[in-house]
Structure 1
Amino acid sequence: MIPRRGPRPLPLHLGLASLRAMLALTAPMPPPSSAASPSWNDAWPRSKAGRAEAARIAHALAAAGHKPEAFRAAVLRRLMTQDGGFLGGVLAYRRQDAAPAQPEMPVLWQDGGSRVLDYGGAGTPVLFVPSLVNRATVLDLSPERSMLRHLAGTGMRPLLLDWGWPGEQERRFALADYIARLDRALAALPGPLVLAGYCMGGLLALAAALRRPERLSGLALLATPWDFHAGEGQEGATVRSMAALAPLLDPWLDATGTLPVDVIQAMFAALDPFGIAAKYRAFARLAPGSSRARLFVALEDWLNDGVPLAAPVARECLGGWYGRNETMAGAWRVDGAPVLPGAWRKPAFLAIPARDRIVPPASARALAQAMPGARAHEAAAGHVGMVAGSGAEAALWRPLAEWVASL
C-alpha cells in the first residue's frame, strides 16, 4: 500500500466542511414578517438572494407549523452525516492498493528534466503537450484509461512531452523558456507531425506552432483557455480573483522558487469549494474494486501528485493571463512576437469540454473563434473527463483520431 496525502490540501477541505456547519449554526433565520424587507440587523451578512431564500424557508416552516430551531437542528444533523461520509471516503481512498505501474516508454529526446516518450504505433506522429502544473501521466492514466495507448492503435504514433519536475534550472524558467524547450523538441523529432496541447499546454503549443509551422501538419488544442475573463457568475469572479493573489504568494515564490503544489491545489479548490467533499462522499458509496472506484483512485492519485510551478511562470500566468487577459487582448508576447491564433494557416482541431470549471467553455470557444477554419469539437465531458474519464473515448479520443486520419 502506498502512502497517500490526498485530497490536497487536506486541512483546507476539512476546514471547509466545518465552515458549512458553522454557517448553518450561526446564520439566523429571519421571521416570516421580514420577507418583504429583509434586514441584516443582528444577522450573518448574506447576499440579497441568500436573504430571500432564508425568508422563503421561514415562511414555509411557519406555514407547516415547524419551529426554525428544529429546522436548523435537522440541517446540522444532515451536514454531520455528510461530513462523516466525506471522512469515510477519504479513509477508503487512502486504504486502496497502488495501481500496477504502467510500462516505461522509450525516450526519444531529453532536455534538462523534460523528456519525449514514444508510445509506438504506425502513422502520423502526434506530440502531446500537457500542462506544467500536473503530471503528464493523465494522458496515460492506467491500463484501462490511457488515451495515448489507445490512440497508438488508431493509425497514429503518439509522443508525449513529459515536462518533469522543475529542478534548479527550470525554477528560473519563464514561459518563453518552456516554449523554447518545446521548440527544440520539434526540431529534433521526425516530422512533419501534429502538435496537440492540453489545457495550459495548448497555449505553449500554439506559441511554438507559430514559431515552427514548417515542422507541423496540424495543431490540436484540447481544453485550451484563451479568454481568461469569460467565466460567468461566481465561477468567473473566482477565476478573475486569482490575479489579485499574486502579491500574497510572493513569500512562497521567493522562498522556494516555485508555486508549491498545495497552493496550486487550493486555488483550484476555490472554483468549487465544496466539490471535493461531495466527490469523496460519492466514492464512499461505490463498490470497492469496481471500475468506477478504480478510475476515481487513479485520478485522485494523479491530482494529488502534482508539480510545482516555476516562480516566473506563476507570476506571468496570474498577472498576465488571469489579471490582464493578455491572450484575449492580443498582448501576450513570446520573445517579443505576439501570439495571434489567426496567424495559424494550417489545419486545426479545437476540443471544447462542455462541463469544464477549470477552462470555462466560453474561454475555449474564444480561441476557436480567433482561428478561422479551425474545426471546433464540443466534447460532452469535463476538463479531465475528456482525456481520462469513462466517456473519454466517445468525447475526445475517437473524434481526435478521425481528425488526424483526415490529414
Structure 2
Amino acid sequence: MSWNAAWPRSREGRAEAARIGRALDALRQGGNPLAGEQFRAAVLRRLWRADAALLKGLAAYRRHPHQRGLEEPPVIWREGAARLLDYGGPGGRGGPPVLFVPSLVNRAHVLDLDEGASFLRFLRAQGVRPLLLDWGWPGPLERRFTLTDHIAGRLERALLAAPEGVVLAGYCMGGLLALAAALRQPARVRALALLATPWDFHVDPGAARLAKLLPGLEPVMEATGTVPVDALQAMFALLDPYGVAEKFRAFGRLDPASPRARRFVALEDWLNDGVPLAAPVARETIGGWYGANTPARGEWAVAGLPVAPGEWRKPAFLAIPARDRIVPPASAGALAGAMPGAVVHEAASGHIGMVAGQGAEAALWRPFLDWLRGA
C-alpha cells in the first residue's frame, strides 16, 4: 500500500510523506539503531494529522448552516408510499415529458438537490416536463414487495399516470427498474435513458464481498422486514473504504461560505437521509444481482419476462461516469455493449457528481438535453 494513497496533496502533506519515506529508507538500510523508532514516530505523527483533519472536516460539516429549502412540486399520482411529482410547473406542461426513476435506497431528490443543483429544474427551464417517481419510505405493504411488485406494479402504474409518449430515465439502480419496465411496456415509452446503470456486477470483486454479507443480514431482515439504512451505508462504504474519511478531510480545507462547501453539505445531507430496502428486494439485488450476476447472465426476469436489453428497439441514451466508484464504468459499459443502438455518453465525473455535482451541467445535463431534443 502506498503511504500517499489517501493523503491530501498539499505541501504539508507531501512534506510529511517525504519524512516517512526517508525514515523507511533508513529502516531498510539498517545500521541506524534509532531507525525503527524514527519510522514509528513518523507514522504516528501522520496518523494523528490524518485523524485531526478528519475530525476538523466532520465538525465543519455538523456546524454548516445550509438546509434544503426547495418548494415541492405537485403530486399527480400516488399509491401507497410512492408518488409521482410533476416538475412541469405552470405553463410548462406542454413540453416533452421525462419520467425519472431513482434508486430504491436513496431519497429521490438527488435529482432536485438544491438551488442551482437541480437536474429537474434545469430541464424545466429548457422547456422539458420532468416527472419524478418518489418511491417513499417502505411501509408494512412495501416491506413485502419484490422487484416485480415495484416494476410490474408501482412503476408501470406510474407510467399509466404519465402523459403518453414519455421518455423513461433511470438513475443507478433505477436504471435497471426503468429498463425492465420499458421492455414490458414499450407502447408507453418513447425513449429510454439509463444513467450510471450497472449491468455486469462481477467486473468489481467487491460485488462478491457484498453478496457474502447477505446471510448475516437475515436476522435483522426477519425482525424489521428491511435492511436498515445504517447497514446499507456500511455495505456501500466497503466499495470505497478510504473515500469517506478523505472527503471529510478535503471538506475541512474548504471555505464554509463557498458554493463548493454548500454543495458538499447538500449532497452529504442527502446521503445520510437514506431509505431502508425491503427484505425481498435485498435478497434479489444483493444475492441475485451482486452475488449471481443475474442481469449480465441473462437470468433476471420480471413477472416471467427476461430483462434483455438487446430487445429495446427505440432510442436509448446511456450515461457512463468515468470516475464512478459505485457503478464501475466497465459494469455500465457492459449494458452499452448489450444495446448496440444506444447513444453512449461518457461523462468526466463520478456517480453522484454526474447528476448533482459542481460540474453536472457539463457532465450530464446538457448532453442529456441535446439527446432528448433529437430523440
Q: Distance in 1 between matches of 2:199 and 2:240?
A: 21
Who is 2:14 aligned against?
A: none
Residue 59 of structure 1, CA deviation: 6.2
Q: Distance in 2 between matches of 1:59 and 1:369?
A: 51
Superposition map of 1:375-390 within 5 A: 375-390=343-358
Q: Distance in 1 between matches of 2:214 and 2:176?
A: 20
Q: Distance in 2 between matches of 1:57 and 1:260?
A: 44
Who is 1:62 aligned against?
A: 29
Superposition map of 1:176-191 within 5 A: 176-179=148-151, 180-191=153-164
Who is 2:197 aligned against?
A: 224
Who is 2:167 aligned against?
A: 194
Who is 1:84 aligned against?
A: 52
Q: Distance in 2 between matches of 1:61 and 1:257?
A: 55
For 1:166, the aligned partner's letter is P
120, 125, 131: which is aligned to 1:159? 131
Who is 2:279 aligned against?
A: 311
Is this contact kept in 2: 1:183–1:212, CA < 8 A?
yes
182, 186, 192: which is aligned to 1:209? 182
Q: Distance in 2 between matches of 1:205 and 1:59?
A: 58
Q: Distance in 2 between matches of 1:257 and 1:80?
A: 41
Is this contact kept in 1: 2:171–2:195, CA < 8 A?
yes
| Residue 107 of structure 2 is aligned to residue 107 of structure 1 | no
| Residue 95 of structure 2 is aligned to residue 123 of structure 1 | yes
Is this contact kept in 2: 1:61–1:68, CA < 8 A?
no
The SS at the match of 1:214 is coil
Q: Distance in 2 between matches of 1:337 and 1:267?
A: 30
TM-score by length of 2: 0.90
Residue 289 of structure 1, CA deviation: 1.4
Is this contact kept in 2: 1:193–1:217, CA < 8 A?
yes
| Residue 231 of structure 2 is aligned to residue 259 of structure 1 | no
For 1:130, the aligned partner's letter is P
Q: Distance in 2 between matches of 1:264 and 1:64?
A: 50
Superposition map of 1:360-399 within 5 A: 360-399=328-367
Who is 2:210 aligned against?
A: 242
Number of residue pairs matched by the alignment: 349
Q: Distance in 2 between matches of 1:278 and 1:323?
A: 29
Q: Distance in 2 between matches of 1:158 and 1:126?
A: 5
Residue 92 of structure 1, CA deviation: 1.2
| Residue 112 of structure 2 is aligned to residue 144 of structure 1 | no
- The unaligned stretches of length 5 or more in structure 1 are 1-19, 21-53, 232-236
Is this contact kept in 2: 1:110–1:116, CA < 8 A?
yes
Q: Distance in 2 between matches of 1:60 and 1:249?
A: 45
Residue 95 of structure 1, CA deviation: 1.1
Structure 1 ranges of 4+ moved more than 6 A: none
Who is 2:107 aligned against?
A: 135
**1:124-168 deviation line (CA, Å, top 9, x unaligned):** 100000000000010000012011000111231111000000001
Who is 1:286 aligned against?
A: 254
The SS at the match of 1:306 is coil
Residue 98 of structure 1, CA deviation: 3.7
The percentage of aligned residue pairs carrying the same residue is 64
The SS at the match of 2:61 is helix
174, 181, 185: which is aligned to 2:146? 174
Q: Distance in 2 between matches of 1:154 and 1:366?
A: 32
Is this contact kept in 2: 1:155–1:405, CA < 8 A?
no
Residue 337 of structure 1, CA deviation: 1.1
Q: Distance in 2 between matches of 1:351 and 1:257?
A: 33
**1:26-73 deviation line (CA, Å, top 9, x unaligned):** xxxxxxxxxxxxxxxxxxxxxxxxxxxx9x945675379671220121
RMSD: 1.7
The SS at the match of 2:349 is strand
Is this contact kept in 2: 1:58–1:68, CA < 8 A?
no
Q: Distance in 2 between matches of 1:365 and 1:238?
A: 17
Q: Distance in 1 between matches of 2:363 and 2:129?
A: 20
Q: Distance in 2 between matches of 1:207 and 1:100?
A: 33
Q: Distance in 2 between matches of 1:387 and 1:206?
A: 19
Q: Distance in 1 between matches of 2:71 and 2:56?
A: 32
**1:77-106 deviation line (CA, Å, top 9, x unaligned):** 111111011111111111122424110101
Residue 123 of structure 1, CA deviation: 1.6
**1:240-282 deviation line (CA, Å, top 9, x unaligned):** 2111111111011111100000000001111111211111111
